[in-house]
Amino acid sequence: MRVNAYAAPAAGEPLAPTTIERRAVGPNDVLIKIQYAGICHSDIHTVRGDWGAQPFPVVPGHEIVGTVLEVGDQVTKHQVGTRVGVGCLVNSCGKCSSCVRGDEQYCLDGAVGTYAAEDRDGTFTHGGYSTHVVVDADFVVTVPDGLDPAAAAPLLCAGITTYSPLRHWDAGPGTKVAVVGLGGLGHMAVKLAHALGAEVTVLSQSLKKQEDGLKLGADHYFATSDPATFTELASSFDLIINTVSASVDVNAYLGLLALDGTLVNVGAPPKPMRVNAMSLIGARRSFAGSMIGGIAQTQEMLDFCAEHGIVSEIEVIAADQINEAYERVLASDVRYRFVIDVSTLD
Ligand SMILES: NC(=O)c1ccc[n+]([C@@H]2O[C@H](COP(=O)([O-])OP(=O)(O)OC[C@H]3O[C@@H](n4cnc5c(N)ncnc54)[C@H](O)[C@@H]3O)[C@@H](O)[C@H]2O)c1
Ligand SMILES: [Zn+2]
């Protein structure tokens, strides 16, 4: 099936309209008519070549919401007409210790990304900046009816990427959580940590988005451009989620952790960051990373969001505004996620 899409033809080149082939619906597949696709900073890192060579042309998009058009004859989990989502993963081996425990994103045989990845049948995957996608039913989640479909799209990456570490490191009543960077991931981290009951502090470059941050659920808001922030908040957090897309001074943030605290990097900057052992050993601190979340946890997160009325703050754009949106994300000019109205690709 040939469908319309927006693709980056080569590293650093603007995205342009094209058509791509989608596979025939197999016995365990779901054909989805895509309605909305969020723009994640990872899309930009990928097409700009920040993370190395890619199998161009690349059709990005791993925050996908749509409706089921067709299901394979072995599919029982999804029905035609229901609203579904696809995040960053479309396949994994299903057998390794990570897959068996529901951490498909850490598949030891290599989880298959939603785009720019070689699938287990040898073809390359294409993401959500396109009108349709065919995905194995096991990697398709249900988007609860109560969630606005456009504003729910970013939950499929920004939502789960922040929910997963908040749960893993037990954010909740009595814990102090700081979120570094108030972009797509950051604003979801604030909403989710607040809903989980934690005391939430935003650490942003300036105070420009302070009013927003407090409305999103933060209890406190500090500017990291002010050196006093780092003395005032020294040794105070149980958990810090760093969502910044560029390298930061990790040691400065480690100094803000309390005894046994953990700094989790979800931001994926292209350049290495230096960690001073002294930043860790003085208070038994940990520096960790976390990548999206498994399929079951993604469904749990969507259900949690429906229960708590949580969606992303979005600006809906037409497909021909994607390149402009990328520039605005790079300039930190987005509140707080661009979402493509995929019907503009029909
Ligand atoms: N770990 C994962 O599974 C995972 C999943 C999705 C995204 N990511 C990564 O997370 C990062 C953030 O993604 P996003 O979509 O939220 O991006 P975004 O652009 O929406 O947000 C990034 C935030 O970082 C801030 N920022 C940028 N440069 C900065 C600097 N030098 N100092 C301080 N703050 C700075 C921006 O102002 C913005 O608020 C990206 O690197 C992305 O690739 C990781
Ligand atoms: Zn993403």
Q: What is the CATH number of the domain that holds 191?
A: 3.40.50.720
> Quick one: pLDDT at residue 120?
84
Helices 158-168/295-308 angle, 10° precision: 100
Is residue 330 within 8 Å of 137, Cβ to Cβ?
no
With a 6 Å cutoff on the Cβ, whether 84 touches ligand 1 is no
| Residue 96, domain member (yes or no) | yes
With a 6 Å cutoff on the Cβ, whether 46 touches ligand 1 is no
- Write the DSSP assignment of 144-169 as a string of letters: -TTS-HHHHGGGGTHHHHHHHHHHHT
Question: How many angstroms is it from 325 CA to the middle of ligand 1?
Answer: 15
Q: Do 152 and 167 reside in the same domain of the chain?
A: no
Name residue 314's amino acid: I
Q: Do 101 and 57 reside in the same domain of the chain?
A: yes
Q: Give the number of the atom of ligand 1 that is nearest the alpha carbon of residue 290.
A: 1
* Nearest Cα to Cα of residue 264 among 252, 250, 277, 249: 250
Q: Give the number of the atom of ligand 1 that is nearest the alpha carbon of residue 332.
A: 37
How many CB atoms neighbour CB 164 within 10 A? 24
Q: Give the number of the atom of ligand 1 that is nearest the alpha carbon of residue 244.
A: 24
Q: Do 147 and 166 reside in the same domain of the chain?
A: no
Tokens of 42: 């990872």
Number of structural domains (the chain) is: 2
Q: Do 7 and 149 reside in the same domain of the chain?
A: yes
Q: Do 166 and 147 reside in the same domain of the chain?
A: no
CB under 5 Å of ion ligand 2: residues: 40, 42, 157
CATH number at residue 104: 3.90.180.10
| Residue 306, domain member (yes or no) | no
With a 6 Å cutoff on the Cβ, whether 264 touches ligand 1 is no
| Residue 143, domain member (yes or no) | yes
Q: Do 48 and 64 reside in the same domain of the chain?
A: yes
Q: CA-CA distance, 326 to 53, in Å (whole number)?
A: 19
With a 6 Å cutoff on the Cβ, whether 245 touches ligand 1 is yes
Q: Give the number of the atom of ligand 1 that is nearest the alpha carbon of residue 186.
A: 16
| Residue 63, domain member (yes or no) | yes
Q: Do 110 and 216 reside in the same domain of the chain?
A: no
Q: Do 222 and 150 reside in the same domain of the chain?
A: no
| Residue 74, domain member (yes or no) | yes
Tokens of 298: 């993604």
| Residue 303, domain member (yes or no) | no
Q: Do 148 and 172 reside in the same domain of the chain?
A: no
pLDDT (tens digit, 0 to 9) for every residue of the chain, 346 residues total?
999 999 999 999 999 999 999 999 999 999 999 999 999 999 999 999 999 999 999 999 999 999 999 999 999 999 999 999 999 999 999 999 999 999 999 999 999 999 999 998 899 999 999 999 999 999 999 999 999 999 999 999 999 999 999 999 999 999 999 999 999 999 999 999 999 999 999 999 999 999 999 999 999 999 999 999 999 999 999 999 999 999 999 999 999 999 999 999 999 999 999 999 999 999 999 999 999 999 999 999 999 999 999 999 999 999 999 999 999 999 999 999 999 999 999 9
Ligand nearest to the CA of 292: 1
With a 6 Å cutoff on the Cβ, whether 335 touches ligand 1 is no
Q: Do 170 and 181 reside in the same domain of the chain?
A: yes
Q: CA-CA distance, 334 to 324, in Å (whole number)?
A: 11
Is residue 147 within 8 Å of 84, Cβ to Cβ?
no
Tell me, what DSSP letter sits at residue 25?
-
| Residue 298, domain member (yes or no) | no
Is residue 242 within 8 Å of 267, Cβ to Cβ?
yes
With a 6 Å cutoff on the Cβ, whether 257 touches ligand 1 is no
With a 6 Å cutoff on the Cβ, whether 41 touches ligand 1 is yes
Q: Checking DSSP bridges between strand 29-38 and strand 64-71, what pairing results, if any? A: antiparallel
CA 57, distance to chain mean position in Å, is 22
With a 6 Å cutoff on the Cβ, whether 315 touches ligand 1 is no
* Angle ∠(64,266,290) on CA atoms, nearest 5: 90
H-assigned helices in 104-209 = 149-152, 158-168, 184-195
Range of the domain at 8: 2-157+313-345
* Nearest Cα to Cα of residue 209 among 192, 196, 190: 190
| Residue 92, domain member (yes or no) | yes
> Quick one: pLDDT at residue 121?
87
* Nearest Cα to Cα of residue 196 among 60, 332, 333, 307: 307
Q: Do 53 and 136 reside in the same domain of the chain?
A: yes
Q: Do 105 and 198 reside in the same domain of the chain?
A: no
